[in-house]
Amino acid sequence: MSRRSLSLSLPVALAAPLLLAGCFEQQRDTVTSEGGERISVAMLQPPRSGLTPLSDDAFKLSRWSNAETLIRLDTNSDPQPFLATEWEQRDAKTWRFVIRDGVAFHDGTMLTASDVVNSLTAATQATPKPRILDGVNMTIEADGDNAVIVRTEKDDPLIPNRLSSPQLAILAAKAYGDDGRVNPVEAGTGPFVLKEINGTTSARLDRFDDYWGEPAAAAGIDADYVPDGTARAAALRTGAADVVEAIPVSQVALLDPELVHEVPMPRTNTLYLNTEKGPMADPGLRAAAREAIDRAAIVNTVYEGRADIAAGLLGPALAWASDYREPLEERTAPGVPDGTEITLATFTDRAELPEVAVLLEQQLTQAGFKVNQEVREYAHIEADALAGEFDAFILSRATVLDSGDPVAYMFSDFACAGSFNIAQLCDPAVDEALAYAAEQPTGEGRRQAIIDAEAAILRTDAAIPMLHERVIQGESARVAGAERDPRERMLITEKTAIDAESES
């Protein structure tokens, strides 16, 4: 029996659970007899660019353990060996990476330095460039058969971190067409080989028996794209899917609590205050806004308790942050709003933000501000926010970009020259702290410098972090070893398996 897509309309998803379950059970019986079971996954979004690794689709290939990179990051975002076994920095602009021996591509060819040069060069020449290479000019050349030299135009201590981005995965030569397109089918090096891309409906991967590492426990992956959150939850509830991305909070109460797992995200819901003009240019009024916010009320009311109260810009998704953070001293004393009128803005694209705005208006009003709200679609409000047209702006902001390092986010949002500086902040102490952090190599010294920069930003009250978001991942009782990754790079790995004893 052929697979049936999980991309169902709501009535079908709710009315035909037995049909779905029966279809999948029949498939599971078939693959079990062939040696191991397949894992079905309901993905949040369909691919936007045909699963090319030079786009955000790369994160799907990574989450399926299909395409691999030279480097991977540990829980502290420090670089670790992957397709490169070792590396050295020869000078501020030059790095050498040794390529792992005995790695087979899914098409049967063997990984060499020339393949690494080919893949990375394709990324540097892509239009548009992968996000991880924004502002980075990089050249790559082979150094014999088993090493490459990476040179950058500017000093960049994050080159190993950059090379961990799924957008810089290494694929076989056959993947790259003369027209600039990249076809990842049977071209990766991971424990699962991509066999079929069914447009924006589904994808099929099989176990790759010649994988250089530990063989995959599962026989394969059947991935369906299910944008509707209710349908994704129904797929988990009925057993049609083994692993489900991003279950809406509204659906959690309908599910067995043992199937629901909350993953902290590197995303902070922050109130940005205009430091350049208007009432919030007064540090005392910014401090008054800081003191007025009841973070727990927002978390419990809007997020139904499924978020973390913010202690800083960086949340529990960066597990190291709390180890370095100390209580802030030398805070500005709160002023007296006394009816000061402010405009509080946000956007509708993230459903929870207008609700946050309603609560914030109540809290700020109680503190003495007179609040006017402005809520639009993001496309219609971004330009005004960046131009400083609002006194306060609520934003859900990713704090760790593709390198696994938060300095780029901090610079973008809070440096004088930052391109996303909604708070219009230009503070010499902040710029000095960010510059110092950017120069540090990865490791403890850089982490401490990042927290010092965070403290410098928070002392200005240009940004008031309110909460850190979580994503809710669903896993059926029969699944073992699915990854719960805050960076959303891993999901199904060679260790993910089906526990036959848990079958109902």
Average pLDDT of the chain to the nearest whole number:
90
- Specify the pLDDT at position 31: 45
The CATH number fitting domain 71-175, selected from 3.90.76.10, 3.10.20.600, 1.10.150.120, 3.30.70.2740: 3.90.76.10
264 SS3 class: strand
Q: What residue spans in the chain does CATH classification 3.40.190.10 cover? A: 10-66+190-256+477-502
- Specify the pLDDT at position 127: 87
Q: What residue spans in the chain does CATH classification 3.10.105.10 cover? A: 264-470
Distance of alpha carbon 214 from alpha carbon 379, whole angstroms: 46
- Specify the pLDDT at position 76: 87
Distance of alpha carbon 253 from alpha carbon 404, whole angstroms: 33
- Specify the pLDDT at position 404: 82
> Which residue in 442, 391, 496, 396 sits closest to 74, CA to CA?
442
Task: Please write down the HEC assignment for all residues of 88-120.
Answer: EEEECCEEEEEECCCCECCCCCECCHHHHHHHH
Q: Helices 428-439 & 407-414, crossing angle to 10 degrees?
A: 160
Cis peptide before 11 (omega within 30 of 0): no
Q: What residue spans in the chain does CATH classification 3.90.76.10 cover? A: 71-175
For residue 340, give the DSSP letter. -
Q: What is the pLDDT of residues 81-123, one digit of tens each?
A: 999 999 999 999 999 999 999 999 999 999 999 999 999 999 9
Q: What is the pLDDT of residues 367-394, one digit of tens each?
A: 999 999 999 999 999 999 999 999 999 9
**Residue 334, pLDDT above cutoff 90:** yes
> Per DSSP, what are the bridge partners of residue 197?
203
- Specify the pLDDT at position 161: 93
Distance of alpha carbon 438 from alpha carbon 446, whole angstroms: 8
**Residue 27, pLDDT above cutoff 50:** no
Distance of alpha carbon 481 from alpha carbon 231, whole angstroms: 24
Q: Which CATH class is domain 10-66+190-256+477-502?
A: alpha beta
**Residue 424, pLDDT above cutoff 70:** yes
Strands 79-81 and 94-99: unpaired
**Residue 403, pLDDT above cutoff 90:** no
**Residue 264, pLDDT above cutoff 70:** yes
Q: Are 496 and 484 in contact (CB under 8 A)?
A: no
Average pLDDT over residues 364-368: 98
- Specify the pLDDT at position 148: 98
**More confidently predicted of 339 and 504:** 339
Beta strands in 288-422 (DSSP E): 307-309, 341-347, 370-376, 392-398
Half-sphere exposure in the Cβ direction for 51 (13 Å, CA): 29
**In the block, which residue shows the tokens 């956007």?**
347
Distance of alpha carbon 58 from alpha carbon 64, whole angstroms: 10
Q: How confident is the model at residue 11 (pLDDT cuts 50, 70, 90)?
A: very low
Q: What is the pLDDT of residues 199-218, one digit of tens each?
A: 999 999 999 999 999 999 99
- Specify the pLDDT at position 33: 36
Structure tokens at 468: 């850190």
> Which residue in 310, 309, 325, 263 sits closest to 75, CA to CA?
263
CATH number for the domain formed by residue range(s) 264-470: 3.10.105.10
Q: How confident is the model at residue 163 (pLDDT cuts 50, 70, 90)?
A: very high
- Specify the pLDDT at position 287: 98
- Specify the pLDDT at position 123: 94
- Specify the pLDDT at position 28: 46
- Specify the pLDDT at position 265: 92
Task: Return the amino acid letter for 68.
Answer: E
**Residue 14, pLDDT above cutoff 80:** no
- Specify the pLDDT at position 432: 97
- Specify the pLDDT at position 501: 61
- Specify the pLDDT at position 455: 97
**Residue 36, pLDDT above cutoff 90:** no
Structure tokens at 310: 């913010």
Task: Return the amino acid letter for 245.
Answer: E
Q: How confident is the model at residue 500 (pLDDT cuts 50, 70, 90)?
A: low
Average pLDDT over residues 273-277: 98
